[in-house]
Amino acid sequence: MCGIVGYIGKKQAYPILLEGLKRLEYRGYDSAGIALRQDDGGRLAVVKTKGRISALETLMQGRDTSGTLGIAHTRWATHGAPNDANAHPHVDGSGRLAVVHNGIIENWAALRQLLESEGARFRSDTDTEVLAHLFARYYDGDLERCVQQGLQEVRGAYGIAVIHADEPDVLVAARNGSPLILGVGEGEYIVASDASAIIEHTPNVIYLEDREMATMRRDGLRTATIDAVPTHKEIQQVEWTLEQIEKKGYPHFMLKEIIEQPESVADTMRGRLDADAAEVHLGGISDIAKQLTHARRVILTACGTAWHAGLVGEFLFEGLARIPTEVEYASEFRYRNPIIDEGTVVVCISQSGETADTLAAMREARLKGALALGIVNVVGSTIARETDAGVYLHCGPEIGVASTKAFTSQLVVLIMTAMFLGRRRHLAPQEAREIIKGLQSVPEQVRGVLGLNEQIQQVAAAYKDCPNWLYLGRGYNYPVALEGALKLKEISYVHAEGLPAAEMKHGPIALITEEMPVVFLANRGLQYEKVLSNMEEVRSRGGQVIAVATEGDTEIRRLAKHVLYVPDVPEPFQPILNVVPLQLLAYHVAVLRGCAVDKPRNLAKSVTVE
Ligand code: G6P
């Protein structure tokens, strides 16, 4: 997720663009840049830098910032590290056409190859630069047409703004899958990723649809589909405050991040699944595929929520790739003097890529000769830089301290990575295709599960004052039980414990009273009957059973007071769907208890100290 903003009008563009970037900074903040069309000399002045908007502002001091047409960008890296070269805007070979982009171009590698074979020289590792060269390929004095023609060849998600030095009266914008809004002023337009960069200037906006583009001139605007069919747009009024816009109208970032999981898991898979070839394309590990294929042991290491993802990963790696796999807390691993040999692959899972214990575990593993992989969200973070190879989550910045969408994306990456290895070891193409099909259905299934929100709110209201909770699951769902309990602890300050369901009878069963909510992950699957017996044990002692269960399972109503139904999916996919109701449950309990959901007491988003 990045932020883009563009301006065309009579005013000076620079202050408007800069202010807009600051408003959009919450969308991403690892590098920033600006392109201004300067009246003097008719050239584009492009300035970009690694770092936050303030770094760009410093760099602009003393420079000529004149111009009434410009585009700007705040980046959250997906392709290529956050550095000056990869910062947007990107320009074509002539330096006269500039593009800013939010999204992921899926077929960028093929397009880049084609453009390079025709002589284009790339200066960055980004997917976006492809757009600049591609549009330039079609440019014959009409910016609108070259963007429209170029986009015919592009697959993926984009919100873009494009300018050309030769056309001082044109700003072109287009969207597909990434948000883009046009602010309509008097003789001026502002285009931005969301209304926060616009509302200071005008409440009048036009929302572009997918595969739609707009050509803005100072005296008017034209919209069309990217297949050049004209469209008619209504001007609408924005009524949200700035804070509401950043949170997309949700009261908390955490809720926003829970609700955006259908999109974030789709972004994680984007361009990586190839059902025809029964293959996943993971650019970050393809160069070491052979080494991975011959791995003898995998150690997954992480902290907190990422460690829970690792526990699911153990099942996936052993199940799909048949590699002996262990999971260890990074804080323990680093001091245990672990035995590591050449065939050991250590996989570090971390949203931030900066967690001190995970980083130290990775360094220790490398020192001892392991091949170290990273499964990381923040591109260019320390873990991402120091590992030998890795797979990014691409799920956008996670701002709420309690990790939600990063967890589901970690699960998706672990499935893809296990499959990547599995295909090279023993997994048959047909099995791989089934998994790909399963993955492709996940975003819509998550969307369906989010429909439980109101029911979950009622459950939360019924139990919000209970001081102790238990979460129980088996197999793939044991880590989900841990994660559900952690979410509740983190944000509502209620004591909760997650356990393998069968362990309950070895001690925790003594805790069960009528005041004890017990959340069961009870999907149909290998251990379903056994989970039902555990449920019976809780019920007979008066515990309040809340069950996450498979749609259509009416039997379970006999045992559970509340049933949260999720779709019937194969076991490896169950954690992704099951965790969503538990995230919502923790969220609502915390809200009802008046807790600071996004910034829980004593917790930090990224723990960079021991
Ligand atoms: C902190 C956060 C957790 C997170 C853990 C690991 O404890 O509060 O939400 O799971 O760090 O963070 P990482 O960035 O390495 O995934």
The tens digit of pLDDT for each residue in 34-79 reads 999 998 878 999 999 999 899 999 999 999 999 999 999 999 887 7
Atom of ligand 1 nearest to the CA of 352: 14
H-run or E-run covering 398: none
Residue nearest to atom 15 of ligand 1 (CA): 350
What is the model's pLDDT at position 58? 95
Bridge-partner residues for 273, per DSSP?
280
* CA atoms in the 13 A half-sphere facing the CB of 58: 7
Question: What letter represents residue 41's amino acid?
Answer: G
Identify the three-state secondary structure at position 558.
helix
Non-local (6+) Cβ contacts of 531 within 8 A are: 472, 473, 474, 501, 520, 521, 522
With vertex at residue 130, the alpha carbon angle to CA 127 and CA 136, rounded to the nearest 5 degrees, is 155
Gap between the Cα atoms of 605 and 610, Å rounded: 14
* Closest to 125 measured CA to CA, from 463, 441, 437, 392: 392
Backbone angles phi, psi at 35, to 5 degrees: -130, 125
Cβ(607) to ligand 1 under 6 A? Answer: yes
Q: Any idea what DSSP says for residue 64?
A: -
Residue nearest to atom 8 of ligand 1 (CA): 605
Residue nearest to atom 5 of ligand 1 (CA): 304
Non-local (6+) Cβ contacts of 335 within 8 A are: none
Cβ(387) to ligand 1 under 6 A? Answer: no
Cβ(393) to ligand 1 under 6 A? Answer: no
Ligand 1 centroid – CA 303 distance (Å): 6
Residue length, the chain? Answer: 610
What is the model's pLDDT at position 342? 83
What is the model's pLDDT at position 134? 98
Ligand 1 centroid – CA 234 distance (Å): 44
Tokens of 541: 């002692």
Ligand 1 centroid – CA 606 distance (Å): 6
With vertex at residue 285, the alpha carbon angle to CA 280 and CA 289, rounded to the nearest 5 degrees, is 85
Ligand 1 centroid – CA 351 distance (Å): 7
For 65-107, what is the HEC assignment? CCCCEEEEEEECCCCCCCCCCCCCCEECCCCCEEEEEEEEECC
Cβ(606) to ligand 1 under 6 A? Answer: yes
Task: Name the CA dihedral angle for 56, 62, 64, 66, rounded to a multiple of 10 degrees.
Answer: 70
Cβ(397) to ligand 1 under 6 A? Answer: no
pLDDT tens digits, residue range 323-381?
Answer: 999 999 999 998 988 899 889 999 999 999 989 899 999 999 999 999 999 999 988 78
With vertex at residue 191, the alpha carbon angle to CA 190 and CA 192, rounded to the nearest 5 degrees, is 120
DSSP 144-173: HHHHHHHHTT--EEEEEEEEETT-TT-EEE
- Entry pTM: 0.83
Bridge-partner residues for 172, per DSSP?
162, 215
Question: What letter represents residue 504's amino acid?
Answer: M
Cβ(401) to ligand 1 under 6 A? Answer: yes
Q: Helix, strand, coil % (nearest 5) of the chain?
A: 40, 25, 35
Contact at 8 Å (CB) between 261 and 408? yes
Ligand 1 centroid – CA 316 distance (Å): 22
Backbone angles phi, psi at 157, to 5 degrees: -110, 135
Residue nearest to atom 2 of ligand 1 (CA): 605
Contact at 8 Å (CB) between 97 and 162? yes
**Residue located via tokens 């025809």:** 276
Cβ(305) to ligand 1 under 6 A? Answer: yes
Rg of the chain in Å (alpha carbons): 25
Active site residues: 2, 605
Cβ(409) to ligand 1 under 6 A? Answer: no
Ligand 1 pocket: which of 308, 334, 347, 352 to mutate (most atoms within 8 A of CB): 352
> CB 601: neighbour CB atoms within 10 A?
9
Task: Name the CA dihedral angle for 30, 370, 309, 265, rounded to a multiple of 10 degrees.
Answer: 50
Residues of the chain scoring pLDDT < 70: 609-610
